[in-house]
Amino acid sequence: MNMHRRVIAATILMGAALTGLVLAQGTGTPPPQTPPTQTPPPQTPPPAQTTGQQTAPPRQGGAGAGAAAAPQGRGGGRRGGFTQFTRELAAPDLLLRGKGVYEANCASCHATDLRGGPNGANLLRSAAALNDQHGDLVGAAVAKHSPALTLNDADIVAIAEYLHSIHATMGSQGSPPGRNPTGVDLNVLVGDAAAGEKHFGTLCAQCHSVTGDLKGIGAKFPDARALQNAWVAGAGGRFGGGGRGGGGGGNAATVTMADGSKVEGALVRKTDWLVILKLADGTRKSIARDPNTGLPKVDVQDPAEAHKKMVLVLDDPDNKKMHDITAYLFTIK
């Protein structure tokens, strides 16, 4: 009996132990895990405090440096682009002083026109002179000059500003100074608008009308010089869209075939081997050509022919008729 009870008790204890082991495996707390390391998000620096003035970014090297921060005021021959065209020019009295100092101390080697010579570099293409702002780079070059130059800081600044004034008049692609004069205000509105209206009726009204294709032409060209250039040259779409008949397509062309028949249309393409016309119905016609004979013959109408003849009529020593018509067209708003 006692032995039987002991066996039962041992069995109960073993079952309890197994049950506890199973529960421990099923619901036990997993070992703690180390959280993965997280990279903090990048911090955005706070905006700089301003005091009502904007600080220009540091000027980098290169001929176009400083263009974005160029001050307004007296500029070079044109705004935008390279430093010499965006850098503000100095006052006339400082430029005059710089010219005198340059001619007395520099022109003997660098030439009066800045082109240089056997003993001096070409200052029209000098990186130091082109990138200089107000004597910083020019001053550094003068400090290393051989033979030494005895110039004070004011003289160096004056020379630098004078060089800048010459650079500002240079054209593109290294063309010589003087192509873009500074400080010049050209006024072409010097004609008589009433007389221009009469000339327009005689010379222009056959193809153009101020109530039709040229309606409001003066408002389309706020710059009188651009208006004058456009109407004298007959600049197509820029000048009213090509007359009363409108525009569109290429120039009118006539192809004369070997049998004498003709094909007319707007010229699309013309080569020694091929001519392509756009016909009145909108279709295209390709015609082969003989490069040795140039046949069939292709006659292309020059849309500026009328304007070329008109310019001959306008020709006079003072260009009075031209200026009169410009003054009249400028009033058509």
CB 194 within 8 A of CB 330: no
How far apart CA 300 and CA 235 sit, in angstroms, is 18
Distances in Å between the Cα of 250 and the Cα atoms of 26, 172, 264, 268, 328 are: 88, 32, 12, 6, 30
How far apart CA 184 and CA 202 sit, in angstroms, is 34
DSSP states along 89-136 = PPPHHHHHHHHHHHHHHTHHHH-TTS--BTTB--TTS-HHHHH-SSSH
Task: Break the chain into its structural domains and give their ranges.
Answer: 83-174, 193-245+306-330, 252-301
Length of the chain (residues): 333
Q: How close are the terminal C-alpha atoms of the chain, in Å? A: 129
pLDDT of residue 147: 86
Distances in Å between the Cα of 322 and the Cα atoms of 226, 229, 311 are: 13, 10, 9
Neighbours of 158 (CB within 10 A): 24
pTM to 2 decimals?
Answer: 0.40
- Average pLDDT, 10 consecutive residues per value, the chain (333 residues): 58 56 46 48 45 37 36 43 74 90 91 88 88 89 88 91 87 63 70 93 88 90 86 64 43 90 92 92 93 90 78 81 92 93
Our CA angle for 224, 227, 231, nearest 5°, is: 145
CB 329 within 8 A of CB 227: yes
CB 274 within 8 A of CB 286: yes
The class that CATH gives domain 83-174 is mainly alpha
pLDDT of residue 73: 40
One of 1.10.357, 1.10.3470, 2.30.30, 2.60.40 is the CATH number of 252-301, namely 2.30.30
How far apart CA 82 and CA 168 sit, in angstroms, is 10
CB 131 within 8 A of CB 83: yes
Q: Which residue has the tokens 């003072």?
A: 318
Residue 243 burial (C-beta neighbours within 10 Å; 0-12, 13-18, 19+): buried
pLDDT of residue 232: 84
- How do beta strands 284-288 and 274-278 pair? antiparallel
